[in-house]
Amino acid sequence: MKITGIDIGKKAIRIAILQKGWYSSVAEVVMEEVIPAGETSQHILSTVSPRLSSSRNLIISIPRRYVFMKIIEMPSLKDADLKKALEYEAEEHIPYPIQDVVYDFCILRQAEKTRILLVAVSKTVLESYLEPIKGINAYDISVSVSSLAILSLCLSQEEEKDWMLCCMEESCHEVLVVRDGFLSLVQTIQGQEVESEISRVIENHQVKKIILAGDVSKQPEIISGIRVEEFVLPDSVKILPQIKYPSPVPVALALSKLSKSGLKINLYPERDMQSKKALNKQLKTGTLLLLLMVFCINLLFLTVIRRMESTLQLTRLEINRIGPRVESVIDNKASFERLTRCVGKLNKVILDTPCYLNILNELAMIVPTETRLEGVNIQGRKCRITGCTSGKGAASSVTPLLRAIEKSSAFEQVELVGGITKEMNMERFEIRMLVRR
């Protein structure tokens, strides 16, 4: 699965294509397009988008200066009730006509009150950034904010409970303060008072660590005693060695889309709904086709089983009919069971050669009482029987059996194979013959 992350800054557009693996993700492409003076980011994005025509899963970030973000608190409600209540709250907090914006929210913390992050952007601004990528044939497009993608990754791997993420741009710094492991402050700082304002936030919120992201060269002077680190991607992300690695931000965007947890904000709900509807339609179609396939397989299986059952029933009926006679001329019960198993295995032969059971029936009638059959082998017209006599005097001879077979209208070309072996009062024999046509 590939995810394309597009980070739109004031000076450059940064793009990353991430390939998700079983245990790690690999950044296959990371590129940066500088925005020349006098050009708009939308125009540069339109020139880049043809190179992304194969992208199917895409997330794009809107520049922070165009996005409204605020943390609000609401009574603890169920999800459905919370969403309805937020429709009224959003109109109160967002400083623009509600019909002119697209907004989304995510729950930060649920306790006595629910802490919510509310994010909104003008529909006009949103459309201006979506227009250049309309040529990309992506089935799933999300719109978010790069700072939230970075924050989500930091929250998943940061052990410190009280810290601050500082995302820096040339004309706008954004600080996101985390207290007790939860986002508690979102603030943008502009103008000349950046350093003093950041220092004030650090003191007021007892920040113990600062993570820097964005244009780190614009790093302000931070008060001493605070641990400062640059944002780095988690170890689960591998960057191909041939890739020039200008910024981790687009990779963080792609990772945030892959992750099932974190701060999930999507400012393009219409496309999200379209992709969900398309996916649901595909799932329904696939499910129906699968059910139809299973039904057809079951129907075919039942048909075959019924045919087999009818054949077996016919065979069993025939065997049961001649069973007592056959069993009386076969040496022991095990031999008879082997015979019936053999008959069961040759269902198709039985159907193609109906005389098969008739042969057994004929043998059962002509074999003398004093003779025991130990084996019956029938292959097509060829028939071979082995056994011995168990009587005394004339009854101990195999001659009566040979005469009975020769007189029978069922067999021809009767042949005694290998002569007769005498054992005490018994004569062992092997007779081969052909079944008459």
pLDDT tens string 255-297? 888 776 667 788 876 554 455 555 667 778 888 888 888 888 8
Is residue 57's pLDDT more than 50?
yes
Q: Is 144 helix (H, G, I), strand (E, B) or coil?
A: strand
**Count of C-beta atoms within a 10 Å radius of residue 312:** 14
Please answer whether residues 416 and 429 qualify as being in contact, where contact means their C-beta atoms are separated by less than 8 angstroms: yes
pLDDT reading at 426 higher than 50: yes
> For 144-173, how does the pLDDT look when each residue is reduced to its tens digit (9 = 90+)?
998 998 998 888 888 888 899 998 876 678
Cα–Cα distance measured from residue 382 to residue 406, given in angstroms and rounded to the nearest whole number: 15
The average pLDDT across 243-263 equals 78
pLDDT above 70 for 429: yes
- What is the rounded distance in angstroms from the CA atom of residue 159 to the CA atom of residue 177? 15
User: Where, residue-wise, is CATH 3.30.420.380 in the chain?
Assistant: 2-156+234-267
Cβ count within 10 A of residue 201? 17
pLDDT per residue over 378-401, tens digit each?
777 788 888 888 766 665 678 888
436 vs 243, higher pLDDT: 436
pLDDT reported for residue 394: 61
More reliable by pLDDT, 33 or 314: 33
- Non-local CB neighbours of 406 within 8 Å, separated by 6+ positions: 414
Give tens-digit pLDDT for 169-190. 766 788 999 998 899 999 988 7
Q: Residues 6 or more apart from 152 whose CB is under 8 A from it? A: 252, 256, 259, 261, 262, 263
Other beta carbons less than 10 A from residue 314's beta carbon: 15
d(CA 158, CA 177): 13
Architecture of the domain delimited by 2-156+234-267: 2-Layer Sandwich (3.30)
pLDDT at 217: 53
3-class DSSP assignment, residue 57? strand
The CA–CA distances, whole Å, from 12 to 120, 169, 250, 373 equal 23, 11, 12, 96
The pair of three-digit structure tokens given for residue 52, joined into one six-digit string:
């992304």
Per-residue confidence (pLDDT) for residue 348, from 0 to 100? 37
Say what the pLDDT of residue 350 is.
38
Residue 353 pLDDT: 45
185 close to 176: Cβ distance less than 8 angstroms: yes
Res 121 pLDDT > 90: yes
- For residue 282, the tally of other CB atoms under 10 A from its CB is 11
Query: Residue 362 pLDDT more than 70?
Result: yes
Tokens 């009224």 belong to residue: 88
Rounded to whole angstroms, the Cα distance separating 351 from 313 reads 12
Q: What's residue 219's pLDDT?
A: 61
- Select from 373, 351, 350 the least CA-distant residue to 363: 373
Torsion, Cα 347 350 352 357, to 10 degrees, reads: 180
pLDDT of residue 216: 58
CA dist 181 and 410 (Å) reads 95
Which residue(s) pair with 4 in the sheet? 17, 58
Distance between CA atoms of residues 129 and 146, nearest Å: 15
- CA dist., res. 375 & res. 386, Å (int): 5
For residues 202 and 225, is the Cβ–Cβ distance under 8 A? Answer: no
Report whether 405 contacts 416 (CB < 8 A).
Answer: no
The model's confidence at residue 67, banded by pLDDT at 50, 70 and 90, is very high
Which residue, among 119, 142, 255, 113, has the nearest Cα to 188 in the 3D structure?
Answer: 119
- Report whether pLDDT(345) > 50: no
| 265 and 104 Cβ atoms separated by less than 8 Å | yes
363 contacts 376 by C-beta, under 8 angstroms: yes
- Quote the pLDDT of residue 347: 40
What span, in angstroms and rounded, lies between the C-alpha atoms of 32 and 13? 6
For residue 120, pLDDT beyond 50? yes
Q: In angstroms, what CA-CA distances link 264 with 149, 158, 299, 341?
A: 9, 18, 46, 66
pLDDT of residue 177: 94
Cα–Cα distance for residue pair 29/245, rounded to 1 Å: 9
How does the average pLDDT of the chain come out, rounded? 78
User: How far apart are the C-alpha atoms of 425 and 423, rounded to whole Å?
Assistant: 6
Tell me which of 127 and 54 has the higher pLDDT: 127
Q: Which residue has the higher pLDDT, 337 or 48?
A: 48
In the predicted structure, residue 127 carries a pLDDT above the cut 80: yes
Q: pLDDT exceeding 90 applies to what percent of the chain? A: 9
Is 117 exposed, middle or buried, given 0-12, 13-18 or 19+ CB atoms closer than 10 A? buried
